[in-house]
Amino acid sequence: MQGPSTKSFRQAFLENLLVSLQLQQEHTSKHDSSSVGAAMSLHERKLAVKSSADVAMAAARGAGARWTRAILAPASSACKVQRCRRIVIRCRGRKRSLTTRSARAGDGGTSSGGEIARRLVSRRTMALREVIPGGRDAAVDEATLLREAMDYVVHLRAQVDVLRQVSEAVQRSGSSILQVLIRGLVAYVKKRET
Amino acid sequence: MDGSRAGGGSGGDYISSLLNSSPMLDFGVLGGAPALDGAGDCLDRFCGDPGFAERAARLSSFNGQRFASGLLGMPPPAPGAEFGGGSREASSVSDPGSAMKDANAKKRKAPAAKGKAKDPSVSTSGQAGEQSESDAKRCKAGDAEKKVTTAVKPKAEQTGSDSSVEDGEQKKGKGKNGKPVEPPKDYVHVRARRGQATDSHSLAERVRRERISQRMKFLQDLVPGCNKVIGKALMLDEIINYVQSLQRQVEFLSMKLATVNPLDFSNLPTLLHKDMFQACGPSASSVFSLESSSSAFPFSDQGDVFQSFVPNSMESQCTLNQLDLALSQTTNAQYGFQDGTASTNLQQQVRNYWEDDLQSVFHVDNGQSHDNGASAESFHGDLQAGQMKMEF
């Protein structure tokens, strides 16, 4: 199966990953002053890498899609606002689930094939909204959601590929992530020149 | 995974080009003068209706731009080819009828071949009777010109969206598609259903539904294993599963990266300096040959190029010279790579992400970020940086 060309995206993603990891490092070391350079737990490190990767992906994608804003936006707010936002989202999610539940309950015996199909489709559309970043927004209609999903899938796949190659290289060479990333980027740049 | 690459720009461009290209696919092909002449002929033959042209113009202006080539370029070759000489001699009323029947038969996915095979034989024999019967079947509103317009509609352009629309209806299972032979009133790329043709609401909804089904088709191509699945619900299911599995892979890989070594970037400059001092072996030309020897672009392979880095760490460390030069000129957190401004913009976004969370007291950085933000805005008009600045 063929996919679109994501070369420039991959390069941008790599660069951003480098920057993002380093900034994440700065962030954590500054926040808890007691543990400067101390090893975070594995879970924390994983979260750091994952969020760096997501931010890097969103930044590398540029301004063309909604999901990038959804990924990049929450970090710019304070913690309290974030909590509020989470609450709002949960409420919205609960409201939606309530409506679907009531629709299901009030159905009675009159459920033709078409209605069942429609219900399935709507439930899955909602599930898709949960999965795609930025899909929870009520302003996103179905067509836009599908397009966002397409875009997100393409770039997510590229992200997975890059991350896998980086981790393989790190394992193979035994050097640090940093060296691997830098070498990879230098290779990219060289390749671009030729 | 992503083995083959289509040449071209970023993923965003690709997707918008995908979405825009399919309706326009055949327009360029048959835009020439001969097609137009043929169109004129066919129109003369088909149109018993004097007001046809005017009504056609009105209907097509609904979706302006694609009108001309779509309307005139498409229809003549197909009907002409199908009918051969026989149907031309028939009356103008029967012609659109057979044209429509042929078009409808062609558009059905399953009986497509059967319809085509049947039609020539049908059209030559007993045309009149069948025409009246099919006309009676189709004529709810009894509009002759509507039948005519379907005859002239662009067929080839519609087959893509046709089948998708058919899919959409069959998937949804709504009861609209009652009649077996159903003449969708196409015009350029908006199809009006029988009985609701001129209703703007239903037309808009048709457009919306077509768009959705078109996007579902693209998603079907993107998501592996979706080809066998037919049906909107099942496909959505597959898509959701795929996205979730990709996200899980990202988590797993990030966990793997986290286990390998501590994320320690504090000694970056020293690291680079050390590499530089350790070895300055062969020149950069060997790096170039290294690159050319690898089969493809570094990351389009499955990590094969990284293998080549390991035994040749000397060369790559030598190239770090140039990198370090760039590094030393910038601040700690900004890596000025050779494709400068664009990467700076993106880095700026990433920086904004982290620094606002930090509520940083590094005024120097903030000042720099403001400067960079301004330059970024001037460079990329609609880029995120500006919006993100607003949000602060």
How close B43 gets to chain A, by Cα (Å)? 36
Q: In terms of pLDDT, which residue wins out, A153 or B385?
A: A153
- What does the pLDDT look like over B62-91, one tens digit per residue? 444 444 444 444 444 444 444 444 444 444
pLDDT of the residue at B350 = 61
Residue A148's pLDDT band (cuts 50, 70, 90):
confident
User: Taking 80 as the threshold, does the pLDDT of residue A147 lie above it?
Assistant: yes
Between residues 4 and 33 of chain B, which touch chain A (CB distance below 8 Å)?
4-12, 14-16, 19
The answer to whether the complex's ipTM is over 0.90 is no
- What does the pLDDT look like over B198-231, one tens digit per residue? 678 888 899 998 998 888 888 888 888 888 878 8
pLDDT of the residue at B119 = 43
Query: Quick check: B247 and A131 CB within 8 A?
Result: yes
Mean pLDDT in residue range A16-43: 68
Q: In terms of pLDDT, which residue wins out, B91 or A194?
A: A194
pLDDT of the residue at B223 = 86
Out of A117-131, B89-103, B176-190, B276-290, pick the least confident: B276-290
Mean pLDDT in residue range B357-379: 44
Out of A141-145, B53-57, B193-197, B334-338, pick the least confident: B334-338
Asked if B252 has any chain A CB less than 8 Å from its own CB, the reply is no
* DSSP element (H, E) containing A185: helix A177-193
Phi–psi pair at B191, nearest 5 degrees: -110, 125
pLDDT of the residue at B161 = 43
pLDDT of the residue at B251 = 92
Q: In whole angstroms, how far apart are CA A1 and each of A5, A10, B3, B149, B227?
A: 13, 19, 8, 39, 11
User: Taking 60 as the threshold, does the pLDDT of residue B134 lie above it?
Assistant: no
User: Taking 70 as the threshold, does the pLDDT of residue B118 lie above it?
Assistant: no
Query: Quick check: B243 and A26 CB within 8 A?
Result: no
**Residue B345 exposure: Cα atoms within 13 Å on the Cβ side:** 23
pLDDT of the residue at B99 = 43
Q: In terms of pLDDT, which residue wins out, A81 or B386?
A: A81
Q: In terms of pLDDT, which residue wins out, B11 or B17?
A: B17
Query: Quick check: A5 and B256 CB within 8 A?
Result: no
pLDDT of the residue at A24 = 72
d(C-alpha B219, C-alpha B222), whole Å: 5
pLDDT of the residue at A83 = 47
Which of B15, B212, B247 is opposite residue A150, by nearest beta carbon? B15
pLDDT of the residue at A16 = 80
Tokens encoding A194: 């030729």
User: Taking 70 as the threshold, does the pLDDT of residue A40 lie above it?
Assistant: no
Instruction: Tell me which range, A162-171, B183-192, B284-293, is most confidently predicted by mean pLDDT.
Output: A162-171
Average pLDDT, rounded, for chain B = 53
Q: In terms of pLDDT, which residue wins out, B356 or B250?
A: B250
Out of A124-128, B58-62, B139-143, B349-353, pick the least confident: B139-143
Query: Quick check: B265 and A61 CB within 8 A?
Result: no
Which of B204, B205, B201, B197 lies closest to B169 in space, CA to CA?
B205
* b/e sequence B11-48, b meaning 16+ C-beta within 10 Å: bbebbeebbeebbeebbeebeeeebbebbeebbebbbe
pLDDT of the residue at A79 = 42
pLDDT of the residue at B15 = 64
Residues of B in contact with A117 (CB under 8 A): 171-173, 231-233
Tokens encoding A119: 């219900």
- What does the pLDDT look like over A46-82, one tens digit per residue? 888 888 888 888 888 877 788 888 888 776 544 445 5
Q: Count of residues for chain A?
A: 194
User: Taking 50 as the threshold, does the pLDDT of residue B386 lie above it?
Assistant: no
Mean pLDDT in residue range B9-18: 58
Asked if B362 has any chain A CB less than 8 Å from its own CB, the reply is no
How close A91 gets to chain B, by Cα (Å)? 22
- What does the pLDDT look like over B305-330, one tens digit per residue? 444 433 444 444 444 444 444 444 44
Q: Return the percentage of chain A with pLDDT > 90, whole number.
A: 6
Chain B residue with minimal CA distance to A166? B303
Which of B12, B232, B302 is opposite residue A64, by nearest beta carbon? B12
Phi–psi pair at B198, nearest 5 degrees: -95, 5
Which of A49, A178, A192 is opposite residue B258, by nearest beta carbon? A49
Tokens encoding A171: 């394992």
Residues of B in contact with A112 (CB under 8 A): 173
d(C-alpha B241, C-alpha B224), whole Å: 11
pLDDT of the residue at B257 = 84
How large is the C-alpha radius of gyration of chain B?
A: 31
Angle between helices A79-105 and A113-131 (to 10 degrees): 170
How close B232 gets to chain A, by Cα (Å)? 7
Q: In terms of pLDDT, which residue wins out, B32 or A169?
A: A169
Query: Quick check: B316 and A186 CB within 8 A?
Result: yes
Which of A48, A161, A168 is opposite residue B263, by nearest beta carbon? A48
Which of A50, A121, A175 is opposite residue B232, by nearest beta carbon? A121
pLDDT of the residue at B197 = 62
Give me the amino acid identity at A178. L
Q: Return the percentage of chain B with pLDDT > 70, whole number.
A: 16
State the DSSP code for B70: I
Mean pLDDT in residue range B105-125: 43
Residue B269's pLDDT band (cuts 50, 70, 90):
low
Mean pLDDT in residue range A86-106: 54
Mean pLDDT in residue range B245-273: 75
Q: In terms of pLDDT, which residue wins out, B228 or B124?
A: B228
pLDDT of the residue at B21 = 64
pLDDT of the residue at B49 = 52
Residues of A in contact with B310 (CB under 8 A): 172-173
Between residues 281 and 310 of chain B, which touch chain A (CB distance below 8 Å)?
287-288, 291-292, 297-300, 302-303, 305-307, 309-310
